[in-house]
Amino acid sequence: MNQSVKMLTIRDVSAMKQRGEKISCLTAYDASFSAIIDQAGIDLMLVGDSLGMVIQGSDATLQVSIRDMAYHTRAVCKARRRAFVVADLPFMTYPTPLVAAQNAAKLMRAGAQMVKLEGARTDCIRFLVDQGIPVCGHLGLLPQSINQLGGYRVQGREPADAEKILTEALQVQEAGAALLVLECVPADLAGEIGKQLAIPVIGIGAGADCDGQVLVLYDMLDIGILRRPRFSMNFMKGAAGVEEAIRAYRLAVKEGRFPAAEHSY
């Protein structure tokens, strides 16, 4: 991809939802994969705290530090040319709005265009947006709260839980978030949230009716050290190489062929 290619902005991403174009997203953690993902035409790259599991070998995301996130964000951003980059605020880096802003600034200085935080932390979201920092919310399964949840389980199956997630999604949008990730929620709930929200909703294990999809890169390339989750798919199967697999994923998302029913709840 040549240097003249325009880097996507949040306005470009929002416009995709408005015109009904599915948004493709993958996690990225280093410059080499970033360049390949970018070349393959993926719209969003998420520098996820999932690096704690797929890069560092931990069994959860909780060990990841803000220093880790800034390091990997910088590496990813050095190699991308077009993709919009979102970076995770890791565990306990946003206990208050001020601390959230201080840590978000480290990720923005590393090259991120947006930060993502888990839960309906509307106080932090408002404060960050007021400081000029774009925010992506994250609802449903919250990996940073895994000890409180008691495991990696689908969220929102019960009517009261579904209503809570929908209410929180509206609150996150009202607080100023410009994107929302929904993880491991029933497809019908995710579809309803996507209809009610003006901002793009990116799903992971949340069905095909979301405005876009994200997967952990190592899962979809079938090279992770952990068991691939049900909502993912091995795109390396039948592909001649990594870039071909990523292009196949992008096309499947754009054409609405992924996720299929077997990848949804």
Which of the residues 183, 243, 244, 262 is marked catalytic?
Answer: 183
Q: CA 214, CA 182: separation in Å to the nearest integer? A: 10
Q: CA 62, CA 59: separation in Å to the nearest integer? A: 9
Q: CA 200, CA 211: separation in Å to the nearest integer? A: 6
Mapped onto helix, strand or coil, the DSSP state of residue 181 is strand
Structure tokens at 232: 């993912």
Burial of 29 by CB count in 10 Å (0-12 exposed, 13-18 middle, 19+ buried)? buried
Q: CA 176, CA 186: separation in Å to the nearest integer? A: 25
User: Position of tokens 């389980």?
Assistant: 153
- Structural contact between residues 197 and 173, judged by C-beta atoms closer than 8 angstroms: yes
Q: CA 68, CA 107: separation in Å to the nearest integer? A: 10
Q: Is 28 left (phi over 0), alpha (psi -120 to 50) or beta?
A: beta
The verdict on whether 163 is a catalytic residue reads no
Q: How far is CA 16 from CA 22, 83, 128, 184, in A?
A: 7, 13, 24, 23
Known catalytic residues are 183
